């Protein structure tokens, strides 16, 4: 498989292979968390799937114990503290490149390699969690209170271990995102976001991928604790950044085409929530039940994570 394979729909996959970075020792992180109650019968998926081939229909889920979760995605400031204490080097830094959305490629990089089939994604040398869109972009694109991005699943798992927690399972993530509302499409309920009047989250407004009006106030990431929280006090469960979960990406399907796609995605991890690059016309995955998958060494400017702690 090419190292810039597009399998995974919402973000290109690196599929670079090789060993993941070693896990750091437990650190001194003090992350804010909110309490999520136990659930004997948590909702996983939805009775009204919008993209059935993604496996977002209702699925059986085991009972959940109570847990705590960060109210927003891990921020750049959080990750900077982790790197300063542990000396951790992310996979984008080790590979020497990462993916950047076409309109965010710096002007001083005149030519960049597009990903076949999704040419709005470009391979940019030197793009990392600090220089999100490539060398020299930290001053304009990096904000301490925004979600850390350009982090792989392996990087996210390393941070979680250092913080004394772990990545959430998909059922845990959905249970927390629902905020006690049950099988609803969005953390706030059923109101559908649009391009002009209903703007409860950070997604794309306009014509993807050419025109983003940024009617919600943001062309890229928003602060991790922006927009209204859900019933459990969680911010930006949908939109803003995709969030890595602990689970392997699996779908039960009888369709030959889906089976072929899943074989190509062996070893991928589930990501939830959609991002600021999602629009209903292309990627209607800014919904609680929606899901995507990517290789654990992949990183993009619209993928982050939050951390769970057992009670």
How do residues 123-136 score in pLDDT, each as one tens digit?
A: 999 999 999 999 99
Question: Which pLDDT score, from 0 to 100, does residue 190 have?
Answer: 98
State the total domains in the chain. 1
Domain that holds residue 165: 34-86+151-310
Q: What is the Cα–Cα distance from 184 to 193, expressed in whole angstroms?
A: 14
> Average pLDDT, stretch 256-262?
80
Lowest mean pLDDT segment, chosen from 98-112, 248-262, 279-293:
248-262
Q: What is the Cα–Cα distance from 203 to 195, expressed in whole angstroms?
A: 9
Query: Domain of 279: which CATH number?
Result: 3.90.1580.10
Question: Which pLDDT score, from 0 to 100, does residue 138 have?
Answer: 94
**pTM reported for the whole predicted model:** 0.94
Facing residues of 242 across strands?
303
Q: What is the Cα–Cα distance from 159 to 307, expressed in whole angstroms?
A: 9
pLDDT of 163-196, one tens digit each? 999 999 999 999 999 999 999 999 999 999 999 9
In a domain, 253, yes or no: yes
Task: Indicate whether 297 pLDDT > 60.
Answer: yes
Confidence of residue 1 (pLDDT cuts 50, 70, 90): very low
In a domain, 306, yes or no: yes
Confidence of residue 50 (pLDDT cuts 50, 70, 90): very high
Question: Which pLDDT score, from 0 to 100, does residue 9 have?
Answer: 59
In a domain, 132, yes or no: no
In a domain, 185, yes or no: yes
């Amino acid at each position: 498989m090419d190292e810039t394979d597009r399998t995974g729909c919402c973000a290109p996959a690196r599929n670079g292979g090789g060993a993941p970075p070693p896990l750091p020792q437990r650190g001194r992180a003090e992350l804010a968390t909110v309490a999520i109650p136990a659930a004997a019968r948590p909702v996983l998926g939805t009775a009204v799937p919008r993209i059935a081939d993604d496996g977002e229909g209702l699925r059986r889920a085991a009972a959940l114990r109570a847990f705590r979760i960060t109210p927003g995605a891990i921020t750049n400031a959080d990750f900077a503290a982790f790197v300063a204490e542990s000396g951790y080097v992310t996979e984008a830094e080790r590979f020497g490149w990462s993916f950047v959305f076409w309109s965010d490629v710096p002007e001083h990089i005149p030519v960049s390699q597009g990903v076949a089939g999704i040419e709005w994604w470009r391979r940019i040398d030197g793009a990392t969690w600090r220089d999100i869109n490539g060398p020299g972009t930290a001053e304009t694109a990096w904000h301490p209170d925004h979600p850390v991005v350009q982090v792989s699943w392996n990087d996210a798992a390393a941070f979680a271990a250092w913080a004394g927690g772990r990545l959430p399972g998909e059922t845990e993530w959905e249970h927390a995102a629902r905020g006690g509302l049950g099988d609803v499409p969005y953390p706030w309920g059923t109101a559908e976001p649009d391009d002009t009047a209903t703007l409860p989250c950070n997604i794309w407004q306009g014509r993807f991928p050419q025109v983003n009006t940024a009617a919600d106030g943001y062309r890229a990431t928003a602060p991790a604790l922006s927009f209204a929280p859900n019933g459990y006090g969680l911010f930006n469960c949908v939109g803003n950044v995709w969030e890595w979960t602990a689970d392997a990406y699996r779908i039960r399907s009888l369709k030959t085409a889906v089976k072929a796609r899943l074989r190509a995605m062996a070893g991928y991890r589930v990501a939830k929530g959609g991002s600021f690059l999602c629009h209903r016309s292309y990627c209607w995955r800014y919904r609680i039940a929606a899901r995507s998958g990517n290789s654990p060494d992949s990183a993009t400017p619209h993928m982050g994570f939050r951390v769970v702690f057992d009670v």
